[in-house]
Amino acid sequence: MKRTLESLDGGAIEGQRALVRVDFNCPVKDGRVTDNTRVRAALPTIEFLRSRGARVVLLSHLGRPKGGPDPKYSLQPVVNELERLLGSPVAFLRDPLSEQAVTETRRLPRGGVAMAENTRFLPGEEGNDPALAARLAALGDFYVNDAFGSAHRAHASTEAVARLLKPAVSGFLMQQELHYLGDALHRPKRPFVALLGGAKISGKIDLISALLPTVDHVLLGGAMACTFFAAMGLETGKSLVEADRVELARRLLAESGTKLVLPGGAVIAQELKAGAETRTVRRDQIPEGWAVYDIDPETERDFGTKIEGAGTVVWNGPMGVFETPPFDHGTLAIAGAMAAATGNGAVTVVGGGDSAAAVAQAGLENRMTHVSTGGGASLEFLEGKTLPGVAALDDV
Ligand code: ADP
Ligand code: MG
């Protein structure tokens, strides 16, 4: 168990500078944040610290700038959005390594907020450089990590700094993510169903292998299912099949018994575009020249029944190409089944960036027990891997 923000007593917070790593890696277009989900997700931590009289100094990365400052990836638009959400000014530390930045953090009023420019502009961030971490540590008196979405990376602002600046505790979002994902994985209400999809099996093999021993069922959709169809000796047309994983898929099928459930049929087309001619076929009837782009209605019902009868469902990866209608049908139907399961008292957890986007597209975010804000981080967590940004925090 990791030490939490709540465990700090008032004296440790009041008047102190809280250096808070958040994940404000939001989509930005024309200088504006187009989706502020991640900023909103960190507000409970920020508001808690402000209400306890802390001076709040925020760190985040944005995008993937190539080794130095790049105006395209400036956090200025995020600072503007944060000011709007908080209804109070946010000091922007354009050069977080300067003496002036340190001075500015000391001059913040109690409850004041500052945000440092993109941590990935700083040399050594991605190399987890302890020298950079020491400079960052000078911006605060204690450390809070609320950036679950960045916790799978050992970077100076997520890992090395947490080893230098103490106490180092988890924020509310981090705590919530670890709680829901951890419980689903380690204390699942049964039946425990994993629902996996998405494009590539190669990115999810570790997840399948890690989940198989503990789950009651793995329901497999998306393009991933096609590699399994190929392993069963079925024609897959021009579906996305990873030839170098067919053998592995064959082994997983042999080892998993009846746990692994594949779609019985598919919605196929000759080209991937909105309004393309589609056919619904059994999985052993996929013609050459056609590709699988969604699960069929019968699979929707089959998976739906298993989901609605589950005690715990973990979902990672869309069932089809949900960005291109009508191939969103299967994914949206499954999102509906998840919502129904939540209503039945099941614990429903969504991990994975595209899966979370699909749930939002269905307007069902509030009907899931938990939608993770961390794509890669939730995947690694569910694979049973240690997240360096979490490991570096204080133990209780
Ligand atoms: P997540 O971000 O939730 O972990 P992934 O990134 O693994 O999910 O996969 C999402 C992508 O998988 C989507 O862009 C979707 O279009 C694609 N996908 C799903 N099914 C298919 C399919 N049958 N053929 C091609 N791409 C697919
Ligand atoms: Mg994705």
DSSP assignment string, 43-93: HHHHHHHHHTTPEEEEE---S--SSS--GGG-SHHHHHHHHHHHTS-EEEE
Q: Which CATH number fits domain 188-382: 2.160.10.10, 3.40.50.1260, 1.10.3720.10, 2.40.50.100?
A: 3.40.50.1260
Which residues, 6+ apart, have CB-to-CB distance to 63 below 8 Å?
25, 72, 73, 118, 120
Distance from C-alpha of 181 to C-alpha of 185, rounded to nearest angstrom: 6
This prediction has a pTM of 0.91
Query: Before 89, cis peptide (omega within 30)?
Result: no
Ligand nearest to the CA of 241: 1
- Picking from 116, 123, 114, the residue whose alpha carbon sits closest to that of residue 156 is 123
Length of the chain counted residue by residue: 396
149 in contact with ligand 1, CB cutoff 6 A:
no
Give the distance (Å) from ligand 2 centre to CA of residue 357: 9
318 in contact with ligand 1, CB cutoff 6 A:
yes
**Residue 223 three-state SS:** coil
SS3 content of the chain, % helix, strand, coil (to 5): 40, 15, 40
Distance from C-alpha of 248 to C-alpha of 250, rounded to nearest angstrom: 5
Q: Which segments of the chain have a pLDDT < 50?
A: none
Residue nearest to atom 8 of ligand 1 (CA): 317
H-helix segments, 87-222: 99-107, 130-137, 161-164, 172-186, 205-211
- Picking from 34, 39, 7, the residue whose alpha carbon sits closest to that of residue 22 is 39
Cβ neighbours, 10 Å, residue 271: 11
Structure tokens at 378: 């939730």
- Active-site residues, by number, are 38, 200, 353, 376
CATH superfamily of 5-175: Phosphoglycerate kinase, N-terminal domain (3.40.50.1260)
293 in contact with ligand 1, CB cutoff 6 A:
yes
Distance from C-alpha of 356 to C-alpha of 350, rounded to nearest angstrom: 6
198 in contact with ligand 1, CB cutoff 6 A:
yes
- Picking from 320, 330, 316, 331, the residue whose alpha carbon sits closest to that of residue 372 is 316
Residue nearest to atom 10 of ligand 1 (CA): 198
H-helix segments, 159-223: 161-164, 172-186, 205-211
Ligand nearest to the CA of 321: 1
Q: Are the C-beta atoms of residues 92 and 115 closer than 8 Å to each other? A: yes
Tell which one of 206, 227, 321 to mutate to probe ligand 1, the residue whose CB is within 8 A of the most ligand atoms. 321
Tell me what pLDDT residue 191 has. 97
CATH 3.40.50.1260 domain span(s) along the chain: 5-175, 188-382
352 in contact with ligand 1, CB cutoff 6 A:
yes
375 in contact with ligand 1, CB cutoff 6 A:
yes
Tell me what pLDDT residue 352 has. 87
Structure tokens at 319: 């069932």
**Residue 28 three-state SS:** strand
Tell me what pLDDT residue 375 has. 86
Give the distance (Å) from ligand 2 centre to CA of residue 182: 21
Which residues, 6+ apart, have CB-to-CB distance to 179 below 8 Å?
none
Q: What's the distance, CA 209 to chain centroid?
A: 20
Distance from C-alpha of 351 to C-alpha of 373, rounded to nearest angstrom: 8
Ligand nearest to the CA of 355: 1
Distance from C-alpha of 373 to C-alpha of 349, rounded to nearest angstrom: 11
Tell me what pLDDT residue 203 has. 86
Distance from C-alpha of 371 to C-alpha of 348, rounded to nearest angstrom: 8
